[in-house]
Amino acid sequence: MTWGLQNRVSRLMKDGHTVMLAVDHGYFQGPTTGLENPRKTVTPLLPYADSLMLTRGVLRTSVDADQTLPIVLRVSGGTSILKELSDEVVTTSMEEAIRLNASAVAVSIFVGSEHEKETLANLSEMVNAGERYGMPVLAVTAVGREMARDARYLGLACRIAAELGANLVKTYYCEDFRKVVDGCPVPVIIAGGKKVPEEEALRVAASAVRDGAVGVDMGRNIFQSSDPVAMIKAVRAVVHEGKDAEEAARTVRGSLPAR
């Protein structure tokens, strides 16, 4: 790793772990629940995130430029929930990511989907550019509706991402998750997925970290929580302090709904 690339990766981590706050959902979902007004959602959560994952449009309009939190810039997209989701292109150039002072760029890959090859080409294009400028690339393993979220499939997608040169991979937690981590030679973080009860989401995060994930890139289970600030604090307790889900939920008891 060049110094710049290593420096950017280390900005995303605290003691080898990370809580990335994902608020990029609007790039294909529009004003999704909890993110209707991105500035309102994001502002109170910033002090508790290690980095913020979002598109350039929301970054420029909804986050003040004096903010020092590392930015993970989503650079693939061009589709909507109304069409085939795998039909993505690179929407944002590496030069723009540098202008925006991003600490990493994020590209989705859709292994097994209709446009698998194009999405792997998008990832490769950004890895080549990232190598040129010292910009880490986070590969997001998007799962098509027809795909099983099991260790075999996620292991395949994560390994392909790493083989193409991604510096970090984001995937989903699953049974036998350790196999996914063991087969992926770069750090793995997990997405939160659809909103579930708070303690369940914390349990998934705790299991993922126990099984080798370096952290989470979590969105809906934080910003759709009845108390997003309490929830992100609990996620931090799991990822950074190694607390189990019950203990983490207890630290914010009173704010989070009881089981």
Of residues 14, 40, 117, 170, which has the active-site annotation? Answer: 170
Residue in 8, 17, 56, 220 binding ligand R5P, rule: CB under 6 A:
220
Assigned token pair, 219: 């969105």
* 233/251 Cα distance (integer angstroms): 9
Chain positions 130 to 169 lying near ligand R5P, rule: CB under 6 A, are 140
What's the half-sphere exposure (Cβ side, CA atoms, 13 Å) at 217? 28
Binding string, 38-77, against ligand R5P, x = CB under 6 A? ---------------x------------------------
Between 187 and 219, whose beta carbon lies closer to ligand R5P? Answer: 219
Q: How far is the CB of 234 from ligand R5P (least distance, A)?
A: 15
Assigned token pair, 245: 């889900």
CA–CA–CA angle 47, 202, 209 (5° rounding): 90
Residue in 9, 219, 228, 235 binding ligand R5P, rule: CB under 6 A:
219
What 3-state class would DSSP assign to 169? strand
Please indicate whether residue 83 is annotated as part of the active site: no
* 248/233 Cα distance (integer angstroms): 8
Q: How far is the CB of 2 from ligand R5P (least distance, A)?
A: 26
Query: Of the ranges 21-29, 90-98, 149-157, 243-251, which one interacts with ligand R5P (CB under 6 A)?
Result: 21-29
* CA proximity to 161, closest of 133, 188, 191: 188
* 114/251 Cα distance (integer angstroms): 45
Contacts with ligand R5P, residue ranges (CB under 6 A): 22, 24-25, 53, 140, 191-193, 217-221
**Residues labelled as active-site residues:** 170
